[in-house]
């Protein structure tokens, strides 16, 4: 795959070349998106893993996976094995899952109450703060570490990380803008929502036979609701349904809830959930959602929040991980179990409806005639914006210039 010409220039035949970027910057009705190979060629996915997911702030996992000192949780970011560890100081840090001595994987299963981590190959032991504790026989048989041996430089490889509510993000290359700057549009967008008032209660994965970008685009697409999601269509007021609104590298949208219920169905007689504490009155009938570039999304309702990670498993396979959050007083109470089940069931149905569409999107990228799309100005401004951010991240330009 010719991504860049010798000398650093971006080739005219590159899937992220200057001509592709130019087509993405046109008015929406005239714009074109990424070429088919960006969705079908494993080499392009390899570029994304190497460059895009390294340069961006990427969601790694919920902080609630490692809430207590001694908790260690394995995570994977675009094929990179990492782990989160909460130290005795209460800080949660993220590390590359590798021993710095000879490169053995250090953690193979989640741990509770761990005081330290010991490599099974040569017994090097590390604290959860990343520091090297012991190196048995380092200087020869029965000659263990001694003072001044340089152990302080041989600790774990820490990954730059930041926490927003229950969500841990990482920046692999360590050179992205400050997290607060990167996430500023989302922090502003949801500053009136009491996100701290939601507590995680459920998790469920879903598999799509489509490229991860197509799955993200489908999540962001409000246009297909009337064709694909009849229950959701009934729940929304059609005139209050909008196209994606880019802000920074991210995208935002919302719709007005048109009836009583949790947000996905008209079911006023069904089990109900309490709204989150402190919700402003004018937000009580709105449901915002977003793409946190590159591969995380979020959907907010007055009574629940869903947080999504679209994991690229293969060029044509994506696992959508979903964490379900409910208002604090309803997250684990027996009297709200039926309502929580209903929310999960509704999303399961919604994703089943999306599954076939995403497969068709993937199949369509094998058609040579398709040249990046024809976009509807009202609905589709987000798609070329998203594609351009992908291309810029791979190129190391625009918002991802260093």
Q: How confident is the model at residue 4 (pLDDT cuts 50, 70, 90)?
A: very low
Q: Which residue has the tokens 């994977």?
A: 76
pLDDT at 284: 87
Q: pLDDT of 175-225, one tens digit each?
A: 999 999 999 999 999 999 999 999 999 999 999 999 999 999 999 999 998
pLDDT at 7: 30
pTM metric for this prediction: 0.93
158 Cβ contact partners less than 8 Å away, ≥ 6 residues apart: 93, 94, 95, 130
Question: Integer distance in angstroms from the first to the last C-alpha of the chain?
Answer: 24
pLDDT at 118: 96
Collapse the DSSP code of 355 into the 3-class scheme (helix H, G, I; strand E, B; otherwise coil) and give the result. helix
Q: Is 319 exposed, middle or buried (0-12, 13-18, 19+ CB in 10 A)?
A: middle
In the chain, count H helices and then E strands. 11, 17
pLDDT at 295: 98
What is the maximum span of the chain, computed from C-alpha positions, in angstroms? 77
User: Which has the closest alpha carbon to 128: 120, 117, 118?
Assistant: 117
Q: pLDDT of 266-321, one tens digit each?
A: 566 678 899 999 999 999 888 899 999 999 999 999 999 999 999 999 999 999 99
Residue ranges of domains in the chain, CATH in brackets: 59-164 (2.102.10.10), 195-394 (3.90.380.10)
Picking from 22-36, 88-102, 229-243, 339-353, which range would have the lowest pLDDT averaged per residue? 229-243
Q: pLDDT of 37-76, one tens digit each?
A: 999 999 999 999 999 999 999 999 999 999 999 999 999 9
Cβ(289)–Cβ(299) under 8 Å? yes
Q: pLDDT of 98-113, one tens digit each?
A: 999 999 999 999 999 9
Handedness of CA 280, 285, 291, 296 (dihedral sign): positive
pLDDT at 356: 96
Q: pLDDT of 124-152, one tens digit each?
A: 999 999 999 989 998 889 888 864 556 66
pLDDT at 10: 53
- Mean pLDDT, the chain, integer: 91
């Amino acid at each position: 795959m010719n991504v860049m010409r010798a000398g650093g220039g971006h080739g005219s035949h590159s899937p992220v070349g200057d001509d592709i970027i130019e087509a993405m910057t046109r008015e929406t009705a005239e714009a074109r998106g990424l070429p088919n190979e960006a969705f079908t060629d494993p080499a392009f996915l390899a570029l994304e893993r190497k460059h895009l997911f390294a340069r961006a702030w990427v969601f790694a996992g919920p902080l609630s996976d490692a809430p207590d000192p001694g908790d260690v949780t394995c995570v994977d970011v675009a094929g990179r094995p990492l782990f989160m560890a909460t130290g005795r100081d209460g800080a949660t840090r993220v590390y590359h899952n590798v021993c710095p001595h000879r490169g053995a994987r250090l953690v193979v299963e989640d741990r509770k109450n761990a005081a330290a981590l010991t490599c099974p190959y040569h017994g090097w032991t590390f604290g959860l703060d990343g520091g090297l504790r012991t190196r048995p026989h380092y200087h020869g048989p029965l000659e263990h570490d001694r003072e001044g041996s340089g152990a302080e430089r041989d600790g774990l490889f820490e990954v730059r990380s930041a926490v927003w509510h229950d969500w841990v993000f990482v920046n692999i290359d360590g050179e992205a803008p400050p997290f607060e700057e990167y996430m500023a549009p989302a922090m502003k967008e949801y500053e009136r929502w009491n996100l701290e008032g939601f507590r995680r209660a459920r998790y469920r994965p879903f598999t799509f036979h489509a490229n991860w970008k197509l799955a993200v685009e489908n999540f962001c697409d409000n246009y297909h609701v009337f064709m694909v999601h009849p229950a959701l269509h009934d729940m929304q007021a059609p005139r209050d349904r909008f196209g994606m609104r880019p802000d920074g590298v991210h995208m935002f949208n919302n719709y007005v809830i048109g009836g009583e219920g949790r947000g996905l169905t008209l079911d006023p007689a069904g089990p109900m959930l309490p709204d989150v504490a402190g919700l402003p009155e004018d937000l009580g009938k709105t449901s915002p959602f977003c793409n946190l570039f590159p591969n995380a999304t979020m959907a907010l309702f007055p009574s629940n929040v869903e947080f999504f990670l679209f994991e690229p498993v293969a060029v044509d396979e994506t696992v959508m991980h979903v964490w379900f959050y409910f208002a604090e007083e309803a997250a684990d109470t027996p009297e709200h179990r039926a309502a929580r089940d209903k929310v999960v069931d509704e999303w399961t149905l919604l994703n089943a409806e999306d599954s076939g569409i995403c497969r068709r999107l993937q199949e369509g990228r094998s058609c040579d005639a398709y040249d990046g799309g024809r976009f509807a100005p009202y609905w589709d401004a987000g798609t070329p914006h998203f594609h351009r951010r992908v291309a810029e991240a791979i190129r190391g330009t625009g918002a991802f210039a260093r």
